[in-house]
């Protein structure tokens, strides 16, 4: 099968529709099920398992679908209401935080997984979004979920940092002690109407910066994986904002994305998958399974996990930071690798390093989600528009002194 050339806005809207379809068709729509509204983490591997982050992105899909007339307002409203009811009434939580992975039908914990602060954060961002969009009882239910969270319980008072995870069997583990995808957590936590934390939690995490060639002063993450520079930006519009120390997180993500692409170009001799239009090292499924360690310099790790695997969510999720380069990458994937395209748009990853090309048969909710939201934000700014109406989000940014005051050359497409 040969796919005809597809470019620019036409391709973006085609990918956007595929992303949207994932969240509509991979959801539990049985209204008599305890797990109504839950959305699969992956389509093939463990299809009985949902992730709460996937649900957060799925709530955003409802807003996009209504605006693009892919789903009726009432259908989306009912889905949002039922999904929030599942979390309010059927899901086990600890101090307002939810387990990372749950059974699609029973809404019970899977794999003895952790109670996840970051995945709960993504879920709450989705809930806040639909609350602002649909208003009424949807907003009331989203605020109920938000108010239930005891952010102080998840805070290690000894170092003033959030733990990374918790399980009933082993207790807390790890810390969000350096920059990654967690900016949303500080915004939500300091503005909590029930259990707020102090701004110093944001001030105290490590913000180590370095240069990558001519790209200067990048505050980098442990593995240099692109999703860490994307996730909080999907919801929060950090454009034209700096904190009290002069940090511009949007500009930092631009620089990190440029460095990621530069790294791929410089290592294209070592890995033939990498190149000018094949870049965006980020967490995804590779030939050996899922890895969160595909990344680029600058990074604290030695990047020993890299094997040539590229995910389109790397470039797609960075489209608001590097529009031209991201669109060129998506056009390259779509027009050169027909096997890389499927019912939900571009598949999770590909790798050209072996004797024959490898293409994932899988779609992952968080990768489809970041691609979907960022493409929509690039085209219309829709998710930013409604999320940034929320009073607690605005209060959180104010309390963190992340103030709107600077200009960027990048802007959403009109």
Q: Tell me, what CATH number does 213's domain have?
A: 1.50.10.140
pLDDT at 174 > cutoff 70: yes
User: Residue 310 has what pLDDT?
Assistant: 98
What does the mean pLDDT of the chain come to?
95
Say which DSSP state 46 is in: S
pLDDT grade, residue 309 (50/70/90)?
Answer: very high
Q: What is d(CA 64, CA 55) in angstroms, rounded to the nearest whole number?
A: 14
Instruction: Tell me if 3 is assigned to some domain.
Output: no
Instruction: Tell me if 103 is assigned to some domain.
Output: yes
Instruction: Tell me if 367 is assigned to some domain.
Output: yes
pLDDT at 209 > cutoff 80: yes
Instruction: Tell me if 279 is assigned to some domain.
Output: yes
Helix axes 73-85, 136-147, angle to 10 degrees: 30
Residue 47 structural domain: 8-404
User: Residue 2 has what pLDDT?
Assistant: 39
**C-alpha neighbours within 13 Å on the C-beta side of residue 256:** 33
CA distances 169 to 115, 151, 166, Å, are 11, 20, 9
Helix axes 73-85, 117-134, angle to 10 degrees: 140
Instruction: Tell me if 331 is assigned to some domain.
Output: yes
pLDDT at 414 > cutoff 70: no
User: Residue 45 has what pLDDT?
Assistant: 84
pLDDT at 219 > cutoff 50: yes
Instruction: Tell me if 278 is assigned to some domain.
Output: yes
Please compute the mean of the pLDDT values over residues 140-159 and round it to a whole number: 98
% of residues, the chain, pLDDT over 70: 96
Q: What is d(CA 148, CA 88) in angstroms, rounded to the nearest whole number?
A: 10
Instruction: Tell me if 97 is assigned to some domain.
Output: yes
Q: What is d(CA 251, CA 196) in angstroms, rounded to the nearest whole number?
A: 28
Please compute the mean of the pLDDT values over residues 92-107 and round it to a whole number: 98
User: Residue 409 has what pLDDT?
Assistant: 52
User: Residue 4 has what pLDDT?
Assistant: 46
Please compute the mean of the pLDDT values over residues 109-135 and round it to a whole number: 98
Please compute the mean of the pLDDT values over residues 82-91 and round it to a whole number: 98
pLDDT grade, residue 411 (50/70/90)?
Answer: very low
pLDDT at 5 > cutoff 80: no
Number of structural domains in the chain: 1
User: Residue 413 has what pLDDT?
Assistant: 52
pLDDT at 63 > cutoff 90: yes
pLDDT at 357 > cutoff 60: yes
pLDDT grade, residue 8 (50/70/90)?
Answer: confident
Q: What is d(CA 325, CA 235) in angstroms, rounded to the nearest whole number?
A: 22
Please compute the mean of the pLDDT values over residues 247-268 and round it to a whole number: 98
User: Residue 315 has what pLDDT?
Assistant: 98
pLDDT grade, residue 406 (50/70/90)?
Answer: low
Out of 229-243, 246-260, 316-330, 394-408, which region has the weakest mean confidence (pLDDT)?
394-408
Instruction: Tell me if 359 is assigned to some domain.
Output: yes
pLDDT digits (tens, 9 = 90+) for 186-198: 999 999 999 999 9
Say which DSSP state 36 is in: T
């Amino acid at each position: 099968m040969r796919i005809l050339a597809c470019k620019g806005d036409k391709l973006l809207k085609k990918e956007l529709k595929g992303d949207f379809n994932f969240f509509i068709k991979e959801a539990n729509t049985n209204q008599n099920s305890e797990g109504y509204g839950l959305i699969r983490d992956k389509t093939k591997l463990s299809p009985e398992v949902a992730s709460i982050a996937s649900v957060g992105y799925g709530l955003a899909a409802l807003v996009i679908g209504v605006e693009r007339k892919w789903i009726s307002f009432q259908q989306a409203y009912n889905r949002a209401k039922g999904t929030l009811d599942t979390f309010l009434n059927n899901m086990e939580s600890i101090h307002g935080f939810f387990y990372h992975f749950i059974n699609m039908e029973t809404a019970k914990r899977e794999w003895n997984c952790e109670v996840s602060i970051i995945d709960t954060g993504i879920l709450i961002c989705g809930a806040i979004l639909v609350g602002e969009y649909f208003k009424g009882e949807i907003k009331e239910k989203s605020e109920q979920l938000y108010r239930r969270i005891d952010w102080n319980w998840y805070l290690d008072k000894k170092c003033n940092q959030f733990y990374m995870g918790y399980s009933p069997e082993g207790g807390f583990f790890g810390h969000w002690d350096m920059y990654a995808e967690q900016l949303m957590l500080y915004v939500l936590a300091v503005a909590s109407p029930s259990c707020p934390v102090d701004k110093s939690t944001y001030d105290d995490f490590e913000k180590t910066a370095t240069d990558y060639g001519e790209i200067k002063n990048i505050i980098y993450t442990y593995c240099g994986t692109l999703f860490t520079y994307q996730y909080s930006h999907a919801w929060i519009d950090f454009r034209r904002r700096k904190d009290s120390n002069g940090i511009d997180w949007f500009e930092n993500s631009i620089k990190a994305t440029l460095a990621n692409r530069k790294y791929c170009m410089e290592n294209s001799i070592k890995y033939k998958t990498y190149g000018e239009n094949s870049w965006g090292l980020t967490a995804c499924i590779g030939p050996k399974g899922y890895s969160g360690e595909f990344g680029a310099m600058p990074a604290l790790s030695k990047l020993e996990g890299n094997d040539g695997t590229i995910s389109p969510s790397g470039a797609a999720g960075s489209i608001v930071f590097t529009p031209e380069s991201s669109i060129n990458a998506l056009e390259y994937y779509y027009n050169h690798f027909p096997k890389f395209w499927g019912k939900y748009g571009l598949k999770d990853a590909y790798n050209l390093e072996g004797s024959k090309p490898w293409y994932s048969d899988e779609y992952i909710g968080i990768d489809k989600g970041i691609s979907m939201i960022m493409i929509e934000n690039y085209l219309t700014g829709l998710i930013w528009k409604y999320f940034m109406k929320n009073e607690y989000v605005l209060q959180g940014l104010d309390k963190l002194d992340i103030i709107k005051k600077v200009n960027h050359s990048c802007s959403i497409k009109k």
